């Protein structure tokens, strides 16, 4: 079992991992900027894009991403961030650096996690019942995506109802082992990126920063909501490149 992925550019490797309902194409603009001096690997997660027929739990997904990317700097958005964090905990020797965009270590309250698992199951059933297009309209109507360009729907429509439903059931936040207590164990450089209007994830990032060794940089994207890499890809690419310059020298 392998994940669909594409590679471009030459130099120090950087792996970009997308969020729920997206595909590797969501990183197009960021990858174009970074690939000038880097080898960029973009991965389709299980249930998404070219990996739409792959089924895997979060820990299995992390292992598959690590197999595709090898030793590299890993950059993950939302679901992709949780996958990259899981990989950093399980296989730290592969993760030279970790950039988390609008990501969480999971839900550490048992009751809240159980409630989220039930909500994710309802969403999965909704996708199966109504199809991808109807679900995307509902999903992107959430306040956290209010400033997101509607053009991002095109990329997501290649996904299937069965694939997205399986992603929620197998790798959703409700079934994820919370990793808050493991943050202090991470030894690789870390950077946190959030949209300044994404209040929930700004608060999560602040809490993470207090628990991570060395209190890593928390970069905020002005005017952006949850999907900061889609709302202002140039700034997100600049934040990532600045991190790479400090922690992953260019090689050829």
Whole-model pTM: value is: 0.96
Q: Is 207 among the domain residues?
A: yes
**Region 82-101 average pLDDT:** 98
Domain range spanning residue 48?
Answer: 5-247
Per-residue model confidence (pLDDT) at position 152: 61
Q: Is 46 among the domain residues?
A: yes
**98-156: pLDDT as tens digits:** 999 999 999 999 999 999 999 999 999 999 999 999 999 888 888 888 888 766 677 89
Number of domains in the chain: 1
Per-residue model confidence (pLDDT) at position 76: 98
Q: Is 231 among the domain residues?
A: yes
**206-250: pLDDT as tens digits:** 999 999 999 999 999 999 999 999 999 999 999 999 999 999 876
Alpha-carbon distance of 136 to 252, in angstroms, equals 41
Q: What is the mean pLDDT of the chain?
A: 95
Alpha-carbon distance of 161 to 36, in angstroms, equals 36
Per-residue model confidence (pLDDT) at position 251: 57
State the SS3 of the chain.
CCCCEEEECCCEEEEEECCCCCCHHHHHHHHHHHCCCEEEEEECCCCCHHHCCCCCCHHHHHHHHHHHHCCEEEEEECHHHHHHHHHHHHCHHHEEEEEEECCCCCCCCHHHHHHHHHHHHHHHHHHHHHCHHHHHHHHCCCHHHCCCCHHHHHHHCCCCHHHHHHHHHHHCHHHCCCCHHHHHHCCCCEEEEEECCCHHHHHHHHHHHHHCCCCCCEEEECCCCCCHHHHCHHHHHHHHHHHHHHHCCCCC
Q: Which domain CATH number covers 171?
A: 3.40.50.1820
Smallest CA-to-CA distance from 213 within 193, 188, 247, 180 is with 188
| Residue 66 near residue 35 (C-beta atoms within 8 A) | no
* Angle, in degrees to the nearest 10, between helices 161-171 and 132-139: 50
Alpha-carbon distance of 35 to 220, in angstroms, equals 23
Least confident of 27-41, 134-148, 165-179, 182-196: 134-148
Per-residue model confidence (pLDDT) at position 54: 98
Q: Is 252 among the domain residues?
A: no
Per-residue model confidence (pLDDT) at position 142: 85
**Region 162-183 average pLDDT:** 97
């Amino acid at each position: 079992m392998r994940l669909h992925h594409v590679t471009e550019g030459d130099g120090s490797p950087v792996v970009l991992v997308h969020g729920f309902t997206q595909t590797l194409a969501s990183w197009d603009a960021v990858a174009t900027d970074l690939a000038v001096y880097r080898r960029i690997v973009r991965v389709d997660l299980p249930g998404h894009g070219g990996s739409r027929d792959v089924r895997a739990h979060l820990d299995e997904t992390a292992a598959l991403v690590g197999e595709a990317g090898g030793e590299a700097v890993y950059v993950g958005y939302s679901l992709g961030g949780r996958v990259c964090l899981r990989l950093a905990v399980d296989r730290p020797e592969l993760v030279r650096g970790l950039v988390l965009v609008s990501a969480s270590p999971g839900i550490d309250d048992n009751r809240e996690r159980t409630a989220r698992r039930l909500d994710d199951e309802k969403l999965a059933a909704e996708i199966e019942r109504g199809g991808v297009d109807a679900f995307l309209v509902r999903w992107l109507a959430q306040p956290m995506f209010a400033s997101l360009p509607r053009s991002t729907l095109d990329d997501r429509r290649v996904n299937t109802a069965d694939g997205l439903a399986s992603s929620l059931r197998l790798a959703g936040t409700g079934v994820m082992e919370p990793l808050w207590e493991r943050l202090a164990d991470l030894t690789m450089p870390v950077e946190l990126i959030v949209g300044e209007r994404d209040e929930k994830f700004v608060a999560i990032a602040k809490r993470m920063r207090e628990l991570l060794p060395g209190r890593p940089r928390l970069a905020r994207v002005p005017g952006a909501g949850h999907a900061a890499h889609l709302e202002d890809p140039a700034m997100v690419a600049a934040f990532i490149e600045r991190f790479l310059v400090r922690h992953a020298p260019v090689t050829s």
